[in-house]
Amino acid sequence: MDNIKKLTKMKLFLPIFSMLLVMMINVIYDIASGNPPFGFFSISINNGILYGRLIDVLNRGSEVAILAIGMTLVVSASAGTDISVGSVMSLSGGLCCMLLAGYGVTNVSEYAVPLWVGMFAGIAIACVCGLFNGFLVAYMNIQPMVATLILWSAGRAIGLLLCNSNIVYVRVPSFQFFGAYCGIIPTPILIAAVCVAVASIVLKSTALGTYIQSVGINKKASRISGFNSAKIILLCYVICGLCAGIAGLVATCRIYSADTNNIGLNMELDAILAVALGGNSLGGGKFNLAGSIIGAYTIQAITTTLYALGVSSAQAPVFKAIVVILIVVIQSQPVKDYFKKLSAKKAGAKEAA
Amino acid sequence: MKKKVVSLLVAAMTVASLTACGNSGSDAPAANPAPAPAENQEADPAPTPAESEAPAPAESEAEAEAPAPAADGEVISVGFAQVGHESDWRAANTKNYQDTFSAANGYELSFVDCDNDHAVQIETVRGFIEQELDYICIAPIQSAGWDTVLQEAKDAGIPVLIVDRAVDADPSLYTTALGCDMVAEGEAAGNWLAEYLNGEDANILVIEGSVGASATLGRTEGFNNIVSQNANWKVLDSQSGDFTQAGGQEVMESFIKSYSDFNVVVCQNDNEAYGAMDAMDAAGITYGVDGDVTIISFDATHDGLQYTLDGKITCNVECNPLQAGFAADVIQKLQAGEAVDAWTLVVDEAFVAPGITSNYAVTMSQEVLDGRAY
């Protein structure tokens, strides 16, 4: 009993619980339809690569997981969201492919410039976007949603201009590698894992995490205690831009083309949702990076589940909405308070007995 | 507490927008097979309109060759308000209009690229009315919001042709409409499959386009019409890939895990087919003429037809961008004072991989590919 209590008190309990809940839907469905009950969780090696629905969740969820890192920091430090990340993904992919293919060319099988130049430019432009957002928020004191609204609309448009409104294909195996397979593991999973590892090591081993939280909790007090609040907020937006750039390149390499109209479309909403599902407050302050990452994969688990259940595409958004509402309600304060009261009553009754 | 409420609100908003996404294609185009589906283009901030494009070069050309050798010696002035230049398909469509309504053929074409901006398009049509052109062709960016300007054209006595896509307006406000029939495209794919399978069973997986887009609705309806005529055909599953390569890939990955016994995959545009092929490659499933799975795709873009030529996409049904000839026929009829139909069908073709002959489709060859306008 004590162990269970300890478990439920853990910070990550609810996010993990929510994810398992989503996956349980599959188990119930599989039992009901007479399939092996744990078909969703089975992983095998097929055609020389890892194969299974869980791998799909990890693979397809990579972009949102990478975005969630940056979004968590932005939310924590500035008590606002960066809604430009989806657009910035598209811009970064567009610039990268435009450089690799040459302006106005729509289909190449050879690089026009070395691969690293294109990749570097894509990530650099994303960082510049982050710098721009951060400057507006930290130094101009513009509300985050308004400040990032600018690039939300302009980022994708610039990407379209760079690609001359076309889909630019770069059909080179070394470019496709970043969206395909590295040995038996999908490369996007590895990229996401590296990003998460680097972020958590930096946050754990330096005081940056503490700085960000203290700025988020009270900007003025932090400044008086000697932190450069504006600089820390700026840094968070740059990291968010960097994450968007990496995610954009992963999405681009997956389809070896810059589909600027569609890359990262509505993904800012998924990233924000991931942060919320991870049990983080969108009001800033304390954050829980692991929660956000789990939130990101929970969103992908919902999508993959809907595919697995064969829910028709017209109804899918409604199902997704119901699941999300359930998860958010489970994690809401009134429900938590209710369960706390319930267990207190039980304890009281025990004592009385 | 307050913070939780805020997060709940934001989550709810996210959910609302997720749900809203489903409808984003509802006022979408009758025909846009383009690699960049117009449904998304509409949601996006379109690049700023290029004002410089307004007076089309065709005008000055016509002036230069003043005595146009038209049949009756009279130059017919035509205004064309084009959607934009978002895809190869659109570019081919534009070039086809410019070639057909040339000075040599006795026309004076005022061509305006509206760059996916509805307001610019309305103003363009107003401009055509002020210039008192003989005919106006509109490829509407949006289906809604046309009543006023169409009424103005009607009052000015200028016949209006709605081309390519549809408008939500009273048909009495315009003269005629022409475009592709998406239902017929779906039926063409089904008819070809029936002929190709020749009585064999079919376990079909469908990767649909964007939910609610007219291309999705029409192609699904047409294909299902043929499915219902064949007792041994079964549609195992049908999911939306949003007309994108990433969408097609993700849906196909999931299909492969859910179903092991499919032999036909129908993708409602070429981009989805590219994604589906990548997913099957990764899972080691063979497809195409020599493989286990037959792929049917729509749009017949240049890249798509290249795959058909290579025998990977077995059948590719086009959405014909070469529509100007049909518009010219209508205008010639009106010029001669004849009655025209309320709706003119632009005939689509289907293409099949080399080595297959069909009553419903053209067998693909390098010459066919080279001869394509786009």
What local confidence, expressed as pLDDT, does residue A330 receive?
Answer: 83
Distance of alpha carbon B79 from alpha carbon B327, whole angstroms:
12
Chain A residue numbers with beta carbons less than 8 Å from the beta carbon of B247 are: 262
Q: How many other CB atoms sit within 10 Å of the CB of residue B174?
A: 20
Mean of pLDDT over chain B? 81
Kindly state whether B306 is in contact with chain A, defined as any CB-CB distance less than 8 angstroms: no
Has residue B71 got a pLDDT over 90? no
Has residue B3 got a pLDDT over 80? no
What local confidence, expressed as pLDDT, does residue B85 receive?
Answer: 72
Distance of alpha carbon B317 from alpha carbon B307, whole angstroms:
13
Chain A residue numbers with beta carbons less than 8 Å from the beta carbon of B212 are: 314
N-to-C CA span, chain B: 59
Distance of alpha carbon A145 from alpha carbon A157, whole angstroms:
19
What average pLDDT does the segment B165-177 reach?
88
Q: How many other CB atoms sit within 10 Å of the CB of residue B273?
A: 31
What average pLDDT does the segment A122-139 reach?
97
CB B226 within 8 A of CB B193: yes
Q: Locate tokens 């307004």: which residue?
A: B54
Interchain proximity A317–B19, CB inside 8 Å? yes
Kindly state whether A165 is in contact with chain B, defined as any CB-CB distance less than 8 angstroms: yes
Distance of alpha carbon A36 from alpha carbon A55, whole angstroms:
18
Interchain proximity A282–B10, CB inside 8 Å? yes
Interchain proximity A49–B282, CB inside 8 Å? yes
Interchain proximity B17–A307, CB inside 8 Å? no
Has residue B41 got a pLDDT over 70? no
Top residue of A72, A150, A262 to mutate, by most chain B CBs within 10 Å, is: A262
What average pLDDT does the segment A10-22 reach?
87
Q: What is the DSSP string of A268-332?
A: HHHHHHHHHHTT--TT-SS--HHHHHHHHHHHHHHHHHHHHHT--TTTHHHHHHHHHHHHHHHTS
- The residue among B209, B265, B189, B279 whose CA lies nearest residue B36 is B209
Q: How many residues does chain A have?
A: 353
Exposure string of B238-255, with b = 16+ CB inside 10 Å and e = fewer, is bbbbbbbbbbbbbbbbbb
CB-nearest to A272 from B14, B35, B251 is B14
Interchain proximity B46–A316, CB inside 8 Å? no
Cα B109 to chain center, whole Å? 23
Question: Phi, psi at residue A95, to the nearest 5°?
Answer: -65, -45
Range with the poorest average pLDDT among A68-82, A86-100, A139-153, A316-330: A316-330
Using pLDDT thresholds of 50, 70 and 90, give the confidence band for residue B64: very low
Distance of alpha carbon B40 from alpha carbon A261, whole angstroms:
7
Q: Are strands B315-318 and B350-352 parallel, antiparallel or unpaired?
A: antiparallel
Distance of alpha carbon B318 from alpha carbon B33, whole angstroms:
9
pLDDT in tens, A196-251: 999 999 999 999 999 999 999 999 999 999 999 999 999 999 999 999 999 999 99
Chain A residue numbers with beta carbons less than 8 Å from the beta carbon of B254 are: 53, 56, 304, 307-308
* Per-residue DSSP letter, B338: -
CA A71, A73, A76, A77 torsion: positive or negative? negative
pLDDT in tens, A187-208: 999 999 999 999 999 999 999 9
Rounded to two decimals, the ipTM of the complex is 0.90
Using pLDDT thresholds of 50, 70 and 90, give the confidence band for residue B46: very low
Using pLDDT thresholds of 50, 70 and 90, give the confidence band for residue B27: very low
Cα B328 to chain center, whole Å? 20
% of chain B surpassing 70 pLDDT: 80
Question: Phi, psi at residue B345, to the nearest 5°?
Answer: -85, 130
Using pLDDT thresholds of 50, 70 and 90, give the confidence band for residue B31: very low
CB A119 within 8 A of CB A96: yes
CB-nearest to A317 from B8, B18, B47 is B18
In chain B, the residue whose alpha carbon lies closest to the alpha carbon of A186 is: B282
CB A237 within 8 A of CB A117: no
Task: Give the pTM.
Answer: 0.81
CB-nearest to A317 from B22, B40, B87 is B22
H/E run at residue B147: helix B147-155
Task: Please identify among residues 47-76 of chain A the ones whose CB lies closer than 8 Å to any CB of chain B.
Answer: 47-49, 51-53, 56, 60
Kindly state whether B22 is in contact with chain A, defined as any CB-CB distance less than 8 angstroms: yes
Question: Phi, psi at residue A126, to the nearest 5°?
Answer: -65, -40
pLDDT in tens, B231-277: 999 999 999 998 899 999 999 999 999 998 999 999 999 999 999 99
Q: Locate tokens 């809940």: which residue?
A: A21
- Token pair for residue A198? 């680097």
Helix, strand, coil percentages in chain B from 3-state DSSP, rounded to 5: 45, 15, 40
Cα B86 to chain center, whole Å? 12
Chain B residue numbers with beta carbons less than 8 Å from the beta carbon of A167 are: 35-36, 271
Range with the poorest average pLDDT among A333-337, B36-40, B164-168, B226-230: B36-40
CB B331 within 8 A of CB B178: no
Interchain proximity B15–A324, CB inside 8 Å? yes
pLDDT in tens, A45-76: 988 899 999 999 999 999 999 999 999 999 99
What local confidence, expressed as pLDDT, does residue A94 receive?
Answer: 96
Chain A residue numbers with beta carbons less than 8 Å from the beta carbon of B267 are: none
Amino acid letter, residue A333: Q
- The residue among B245, B251, B33, B290 whose CA lies nearest residue A176 is B245
Query: Looking at per-residue confidence, does B339 or A149 come out higher?
Result: A149
Interchain proximity B274–A332, CB inside 8 Å? no
What average pLDDT does the segment B133-144 reach?
90
Distance of alpha carbon A41 from alpha carbon B30, whole angstroms:
42
Using pLDDT thresholds of 50, 70 and 90, give the confidence band for residue B9: low
For A315, residues 6+ apart whose C-beta sits below 8 A from its C-beta are none
